[in-house]
């Protein structure tokens, strides 16, 4: 049996496989479903200070290669998740909060609540593509660093940041170096590609309703984008920051590709939506099969082991 043990920051994980925020993690019941599955950790839905219903429906669409969503941050509010995590202690799995906000001060208010609750790690989501009236925080580096620096100084807990894709190497280099300077423990790459859509030519309609039918794009179509972000972020953060890969993980070989690129763990979004929490057992089985075939003893030795042509 191969050893799938890995870590994110100082948090040990029994395998590199966990859920992506936003999928199967909004309600108590769903979170328990992840905790009872083979997922190595439980990631919570991105929370706002107060509960939200989110956008009007249809707000999520998927097919065999992609997903488009404009959920609009439906969530039960920070208080609910801080109570829920207290009741999940017995699962003995790392619990990851995901926090977001509509303005800078929201992040600090939610962080103060979450920091007091028994979460093991906090993913700061600076990349929600569906916030009305404002752009993506992570495309404003000064504001992002202000948020992260202030939070870093408030806690010794493991903290990470979830980022959108960047289109230029120079942006990645500056962002990565700034995150190392701030002392971030992990970077999750990537949130859904911000401006995606699906047009059904038969009905002549967009697949989702909010925001002109345009929302975050996920699924296997974004995997090449996410992989390149992992490779480039790793060049500037090597061994100082853990990277978590997200985007189009549907089979064991996808996980192996992310690990070679430099990811210490992966998150499952679109495919979890499609398949439910049984997917974690399937992926672990497939990953074990690949490692056995390749005679790899530990997944750790393959993190960032990609060979260049």
Q: Which residue is nearest to ligand DHB (CB)?
A: 71
| Between 100 and 158, CB nearer to ligand DHB | 100
- Least distance CB 301 / ligand DHB (angstroms): 32
Measured between its terminal Cα atoms, the distance across the chain in Å is 31
- Least distance CB 3 / ligand DHB (angstroms): 32
282 Cβ contact partners less than 8 Å away, ≥ 6 residues apart? 275
- Residue 128 annotated to the active site: yes
| Between 31 and 73, CB nearer to ligand DHB | 73
What number of helices (H) and strands (E) belong to the chain? Answer: 9, 16
Q: φ, ψ for residue 6 (rounded to 5)?
A: -145, -170
Neighbours of 35 (CB within 10 A): 17
Q: φ, ψ for residue 68 (rounded to 5)?
A: -130, 130
127 in Cβ contact with 134 (< 8 Å) = no
- Least distance CB 161 / ligand DHB (angstroms): 12
| Between 214 and 303, CB nearer to ligand DHB | 214
- Least distance CB 163 / ligand DHB (angstroms): 10
Give residue 228's Cα distance to chain centre: 16
| Between 15 and 130, CB nearer to ligand DHB | 130
| Between 14 and 27, CB nearer to ligand DHB | 27
1 in Cβ contact with 295 (< 8 Å) = no
Q: Which of 82, 103, 128, 197 is catalytic?
A: 128
225 in Cβ contact with 192 (< 8 Å) = no
CA distances in angstroms from 263 to 27, 49, 74, 129, 238, listed in the order given:
28, 31, 29, 23, 11
- Least distance CB 30 / ligand DHB (angstroms): 14
Which residues are at the interface with ligand DHB (CB under 6 A)? 22, 46, 54, 69-73, 125, 127-130, 191-192, 216
List residues with catalytic annotation.
128
């Amino acid at each position: 049996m191969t050893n799938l043990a890995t870590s994110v920051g100082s948090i040990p994980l029994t395998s590199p496989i966990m859920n992506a925020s936003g999928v199967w993690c909004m309600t108590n019941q769903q979170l328990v479903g992840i905790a009872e599955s083979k997922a190595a950790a439980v990631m919570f839905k991105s929370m706002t200070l107060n509960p939200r219903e989110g956008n009007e429906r249809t707000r999520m669409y998927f097919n065999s290669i992609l997903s488009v969503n404009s959920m609009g941050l439906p969530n039960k509010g920070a208080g609910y998740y801080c109570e829920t995590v207290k009741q999940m202690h017995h699962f003995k799995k790392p619990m990851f909060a995901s926090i977001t906000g509509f303005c800078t001060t929201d992040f600090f208010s939610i962080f103060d609540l979450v920091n007091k609750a028994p979460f093991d790690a906090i993913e700061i989501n600076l990349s929600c593509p569906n916030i009305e009236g404002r752009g993506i925080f992570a495309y404003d580096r000064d504001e992002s660093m202000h948020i992260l620096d202030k939070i870093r100084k408030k806690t010794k807990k493991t903290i990470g940041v979830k980022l959108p894709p960047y289109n230029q190497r120079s942006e990645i280099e500056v962002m990565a170096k700034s995150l190392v300077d701030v002392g971030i423990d992990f970077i999750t790459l990537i949130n859904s590609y911000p401006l995606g859509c699906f047009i059904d030519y038969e009905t002549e309609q967009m697949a989702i309703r909010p925001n002109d039918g345009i929302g975050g794009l996920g699924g296997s179509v974004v995997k090449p984008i996410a992989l390149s972000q992992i490779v480039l972020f790793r060049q500037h953060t090597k061994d100082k920051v853990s990277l978590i890969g997200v985007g189009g993980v549907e089979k064991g070989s996808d996980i192996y590709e992310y690990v070679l690129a430099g990811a210490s763990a992966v998150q499952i979004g679109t495919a979890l939506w499609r398949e439910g929490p049984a997917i974690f057992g399937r992926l672990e089985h497939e990953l074990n099969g690949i490692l056995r075939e390749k005679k790899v003893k530990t997944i750790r030795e393959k993190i960032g082991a990609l060979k260049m042509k």
